[in-house]
Each structure stands twice: as structure tokens, then as C-alpha cells.
Amino acid sequence: MSRETEKLLKELQRFLDANTDEAVDETTVNALAEQFLAEYDQKCADQKDFVPETADDYLRLAEQAPSKKKHMEYLRKARSIQRTQRPILDSDRNQTVYACVLYIL
């Protein structure tokens, strides 16, 4: 089984655990699995169409990065964009994250 498949199955199990009781029938589980897969497919499609433009976009990608290498790559890109553009960050949380990025890098 591939790593991506394992991740998908773990996410599905968490989704089912959060949305079911102890005693559920097979049709309920199937309906919940279909709902999860539809949401997962939509999330994947949104990520493929997403093109980061600002430092905030790269900070969001860094938060969701699957590996430390990708995480650091996104943080460096956010820092380089922030240094050249100086856009206004859209939240206090991102300002805090950006301050940490500058400290780390």
C-alpha cells in the first residue's frame, strides 16, 4: 500500500470516528465514507488549482506541508516575497508566524 493511500485511510478513520457512534450500520458507514471522499476530492482539486502569490499563501502552505523539507521551502519563499513586497499580513496569527520565520531563518 502506498504512503498516500495509508494517509487517506487514516484520515477516513478519523472522520468516521468523529462522526459515528459505537453502533452504526453498514449503510451509515458507507454514506459517511462517500461524504468524506467527496470532501477529500474537493480539497485535492482546490489545492491543485491554488497558485500561491503572497507571503500569506506560502505560510498557509508551510502549515500544511507533508514534510519538513517542503515546510522549510515554503517558509523561505514566504520570507523572500515578504522582503520584496512587504504586503500587509491578513491576521495576527500570520504576523506571529512570520516573526518566527524571520527568527528561524
What would the pLDDT profile of 83-104 be if each residue is shown by its tens digit? Answer: 776 545 555 556 666 666 655 6
Q: What is the pLDDT of residue 20?
A: 80
pTM: 0.45
pLDDT tier, 48 (very low <50, low <70, confident <90, very high otherwise): low
| Helical H segments across 1-105, by residue range | 3-19, 26-49, 55-64, 68-85, 92-104
Closest CA to 83 of 58, 47, 49: 58
Long-range contacts, 93-97 (Cβ 8 Å, 24+):
94/56, 94/59, 97/59, 97/63
What would the pLDDT profile of 14-39 be if each residue is shown by its tens digit? Answer: 888 888 877 678 888 888 889 988 88
User: Over the chain, what is the mean pLDDT?
Assistant: 78
Q: What is the pLDDT of residue 103?
A: 57
Q: What is the pLDDT of residue 81?
A: 85
